Amino acid sequence: MLSALMLVSGILTPIAAAQRIKDVATVAGIRSNQLVGYGLVVGLPGTGERTPFTDQTFRTMLRNFGINLPENQRPQINNVAAVAVHAELPAFAKPGQTIDITVSSVGDADSLVGGTLMQTFLRGADGEIYAVAQGNLVVGGLGAQGLDGSSIVINTPTVGRIPNGAMVEREVETGFAHSEYITFLLNRPDFTTARFMAEAINGLIGPDSAMPVDAASVRVIAPRDPGQRVSYLSTLENIQIEQGQAPARIIVNSRTGTIVVGQNVRLHPAAVAHGNLQVTISENLNVSQPNPFGQGQTVVTPDSNITVTQEDARMFRFDPGVSMNDLINAINQIGAAPGDIIAVLEALKQAGAIDGELVII
């Protein structure tokens, strides 16, 4: 475990590697949109449900087909399930294209295996219909139940997918072709990266073509013609830039003992003492037996032994500016456990001896 810790710290040494703009940023306004709907899955082999909202939805569906059930009559159905349907509408999706959908039971249906989703309208955050879903479900889970009440469930039989199960009916306006600027949004906001990106774009396109707005966005002048704008953006997103170094940070997972150390973490002068105290308690049972014809009783008496072992405390000192690699090597030499390393890091942070953020998850 400690050797792995040393390896993780060594991996995070500075490496100057250029990346494309398309790998470190996205274009503002070009994103997917969430869609959601409510519908019915029919054709289930007796694994459906009978709930009030399922009955109401079933009545509504029949009414749309011109069939009216008496209000005092409850339909006897167990092959129908009420479901929630959700999907993501990609940017620039056009009417007539298809998208994948996920179908999840909202009631107490046992399984959706073998079911068919009836026509379901998928709405966006504005309440408008953007796609219509329908089709046969593909369910990866299954469940089985015996007559004695025993049951087994593999994966989740109440959730399924329909590849290309929804047809797009409306396009989402992005504003890509109308704005005077194109704005890149950094995946990891950083002032240095924003400056590097603007300088790289200006070096290729021309001075004052790009301007960093803040740590998360860079604004670039764009041509008016939409056709030219596509070629222009294709050129921009393939420009190679260097990212700014991440902040000095130590991530500690207290449950697994995993520690990841950033490349810029440094220590101030510090001295650390490490010692282990081990207490061992053993119980022995002694049997006391009376002499022959002594008319006594045989009794069992406990005999407790307590042993205290304390290793010699070891202290090591660090000079200014020493790296975390040196700290890890020193702790490894004294044979500390991962929990001890976490305690040492917390103590050093409390003492103000670490340049960097300590994050414990």
Q: Do 184 and 210 share a domain, yes or no?
A: yes
Helices (H), 213-267: 226-237
Distance between CA atoms of residues 202 and 189, nearest Å: 20
Residues 226, 265, single domain; the answer is no
Which residues on neighbouring strands pair with residue 210, listed in sequence order?
A: 220
135 and 112 in a single domain? The answer is yes
Of 251, 261, 265, 250, nearest to 361 (Cα)?
251
Per-residue pLDDT of the chain (361 residues; tens, 9 = 90+): 334 344 344 434 444 468 898 899 999 888 899 999 999 999 888 888 877 777 778 887 877 777 777 777 777 678 888 899 999 999 889 999 999 999 999 888 888 888 999 999 999 999 999 999 999 999 886 555 554 454 555 668 889 999 999 999 998 887 777 788 889 999 988 899 999 999 999 998 889 899 999 999 999 998 888 778 888 998 999 999 888 777 777 777 766 667 777 767 766 666 666 555 444 545 566 666 766 666 667 766 665 554 545 455 555 555 555 566 666 666 666 555 666 667 777 777 776 667 677 777 7
- In this structure, the answer to whether residues 25 and 38 fall within a common structural domain is no
- Quick one: CA torsion of 206, 207, 213, 219, rounded to 10 degrees? -20
pTM: 0.64
Does residue 134 lie within any of the structural domains? yes
Tokens read off for 120: 């379901």
Instruction: Let me know whether 112 and 146 are in one domain.
Output: yes
pLDDT of residue 37: 94
In a domain, 1, yes or no: no
Residues 44 and 161 occupy one common structural domain: yes
pLDDT of residue 88: 94
Residues ≥6 apart with Cβ < 8 Å to 199: none
Instruction: Locate 150 and state its tokens.
Output: 């025993």
Q: Which domain holds residue 51?
A: 33-168
| Among the listed residues 53, 163, 162, 61, the one whose alpha carbon sits nearest the alpha carbon of residue 115 | 162
- Residue 64, phi then psi, degrees to nearest 5: -65, -25
Is residue 151 within 8 A of residue 145, CB to CB? The reply is yes
How far is residue 356's CA from residue 264's CA, in Å, rounded to a whole number? 8
Do 24 and 42 fall into the same domain?
A: no
Question: Which one-letter amino acid corresponds to residue 307?
Answer: T
List alpha helices for the chain, DSSP H.
2-11, 21-24, 52-64, 191-205, 226-237, 324-333, 338-350
Domain count of the chain?
A: 3
On whether both 23 and 44 belong to a single domain, the answer is: no
Q: Is the domain of 25 the same as that of 49?
A: no
| 3-state class (DSSP) for residue 239 | coil
At residue 13, the pLDDT reads 43
